[in-house]
Amino acid sequence: MSIRVGNGAGFWGDDVDAPVRLARDGDLDFLTLEYLAELTTAILAHRRAKDPDAGFVTDFPEVIKRISNFLVEQPRLKIVTNAGGLNPLACVRNVGSILVESGLGRTSIAVVAGDDLLKNVPEWIQAKIDLVNMDTGESIVPYADRLIAFNAYLGAKPIARAIGEGARIVITGRVADASLTLGPAVASFGWGWDEYDLLAAASTAGHVIECGAQATGGLWSDWDAIPDSASIGYPIALLDRDGSCVIAKPERSGGMVTAGTIAEQLVYEIDDPSRYRTPDVDVDLTHVELDQVDQNRVRIRGAKGNSPSDFLKVSAVYRDGWTASGLVAVVGRGAVKKARAAGELVVERVRRAGYSLAQSRVEVIGAGDVVPGVLNHLIDRDPVEVMLRVTARDPSKEAIERFCRSIAPLVTSGPPGIAGYATGRPRAIPAFGYAPVLIPRELVAPKLEIRTATEWEKTNASLEYNGIS
């Protein structure tokens, strides 16, 4: 027995046509859509704070509308996504309405919750549970009152449970990226949660396809050799019961699947390849082998698994003042020198106006500042046109608004060669901080609710989800 799992989104903002093409041409058992990143969580949290019915990925209902005919034509096609973001209930209501309008009101939809732990933080602080920013080693208590999101990375277990109980669409909040593929594999093959090598094999496949076209030629170092990048195909994992896996893409789509494209994605976002941690299994990638078995088909084998940690990672987002960024073009001889001087002028004029900015940054794009110190040997030392970007952050909105008004004057009171705005006058926007936190696994209780699209459409109250053991 084998299954075909295709991933049609690597982040919120990815190609909106990709999931449609993949559902149409992929001959799939499961279509996964991976939308969430740390930045996405901050955006969704900000939206939810302004509107209690917001906080989910708004692209997803539109995807459902566009592929509803494929759900009719392909009875075995199922969908698994983390588009629920910080508000899975609002997301499923929208999806339910669309399916009802499409004549698919009997479609079974599962919502996976339990990742949102924001309300628990005061209690845990009172109980002296360590809540430490993994990046800094410092407690998050000083800014706990400014938290707007505190979401644990759930694993594949509730996804597998939902599919096993007949759900055709599974909408989750924050889950680990690879779990979107592992859940369908466990549900399809009946693996045990202690069969770690099998879990590792499917998690490796999930990791490879989670970023969409990065596995099929996107960001590939030989980018100019990629055929038909305009219609690049998104990846499909062909998984067998024994854990073996081949990565492919739809026939007649652009892009390419090679050992090289897969290898680059395999090591993407990996800290320790011998211990790639997920909520489901610790994956050892150090013995993985990649075999080009055919054109655009690569076999992955050799992943090993060990029991997962007793802790789960949490994505914590907190308000961190205000920020703004302005962008102007600078041209002519000495463009880099003029741009740096102009940027410092902005900061100094804000200071003389009575505002000492907490943070400011002057960047000259075209002079190596995007990746400082990395590409110096390739940089033209005297470019005749560059972009100046000046960014500021401060607890005071008033200070940032004064900063926003200090960039336009460069056009007439700065060095010569300021060619005008690239973005118009910037505006002060909320700034957010991010803290990765570990919490004991026993503090997190994944939850699941399954209803038909018609039932979800009519749901107005908060739900008492069923717990998942």
pLDDT in tens, 58-68: 999 999 999 99
Which residue's structure tokens are 């989670």? 210
Q: How far is CA 174 from the centre of its chain?
A: 10
| Cα separation, 389 vs 324, whole angstroms | 10
Whether residues 330 and 309 fall in one domain: no
Whether residues 422 and 457 fall in one domain: no
pLDDT for 242 beyond 80: yes
Whether residues 62 and 154 fall in one domain: yes
Each residue's pLDDT tens digit, 149-196 = 999 999 999 999 999 999 999 999 999 999 999 999 999 999 999 999
- Confidence (pLDDT) at 15: 96
Residues 385-408 have a mean pLDDT of: 97
Which of the residue ranges 85-94, 199-208, 256-265, 459-468 would you say has the lowest mean pLDDT?
459-468
pLDDT for 47 beyond 70: yes
Whether residues 55 and 164 fall in one domain: yes
- Per DSSP (E only), the strands in 169-310 are 169-172, 236-240, 245-248, 276-277, 282-284, 289-294, 297-301, 304-306
Check which CATH number belongs to the domain holding 355 and give it. Answer: 3.30.70
CA-nearest of 317, 321, 320, 330 to 390 is: 330
pLDDT for 436 beyond 90: yes
pLDDT for 381 beyond 90: no
| Cα separation, 403 vs 144, whole angstroms | 28
Residues 364-374 have a mean pLDDT of: 89
159, 180 Cβ separation under 8 angstroms = yes
- Phi/psi at 326 (5° precision): -115, 150
Whether residues 390 and 258 fall in one domain: no
Q: How confident is the model at residue 461 (pLDDT cuts 50, 70, 90)?
A: very low
Q: How confident is the model at residue 467 (pLDDT cuts 50, 70, 90)?
A: very low
Whether residues 366 and 421 fall in one domain: yes
The domain total for the chain is 2
Residues 301-328 have a mean pLDDT of: 97
- Confidence (pLDDT) at 382: 85
Which residue's structure tokens are 């102009």? 342
Q: Please give the residue range of the domain that contains residue 340.
A: 321-433
Whether residues 244 and 210 fall in one domain: yes
Whether residues 286 and 350 fall in one domain: no
* Residue with more model confidence, 362 or 420: 362
441, 307 Cβ separation under 8 angstroms = no
| Cα separation, 371 vs 104, whole angstroms | 49
Whether residues 354 and 310 fall in one domain: no
Whether residues 77 and 215 fall in one domain: yes
Q: Taken in order 312, 214, 293, 6, is the CA torsion positive or negative?
A: positive
| Cα separation, 414 vs 303, whole angstroms | 58
CB atoms within 10 A of CB 297: 16
Whether residues 86 and 197 fall in one domain: yes
- Confidence (pLDDT) at 460: 64
Q: What is the mean pLDDT of the chain?
A: 94
- Phi/psi at 137 (5° precision): 75, 10
Q: How confident is the model at residue 126 (pLDDT cuts 50, 70, 90)?
A: very high
- Confidence (pLDDT) at 66: 97
Each residue's pLDDT tens digit, 7-16 = 999 999 999 9
- Confidence (pLDDT) at 374: 85
| Cα separation, 266 vs 282, whole angstroms | 15
Q: How confident is the model at residue 428 (pLDDT cuts 50, 70, 90)?
A: very high
Q: What percent of the chain clears pLDDT 70, i.e. is strictly above it? A: 97
- Confidence (pLDDT) at 421: 66
pLDDT for 83 beyond 70: yes
Q: How confident is the model at residue 378 (pLDDT cuts 50, 70, 90)?
A: confident
Each residue's pLDDT tens digit, 22-38 = 999 999 999 999 999 88
CA-nearest of 62, 73, 57 to 98 is: 62
Whether residues 112 and 243 fall in one domain: yes
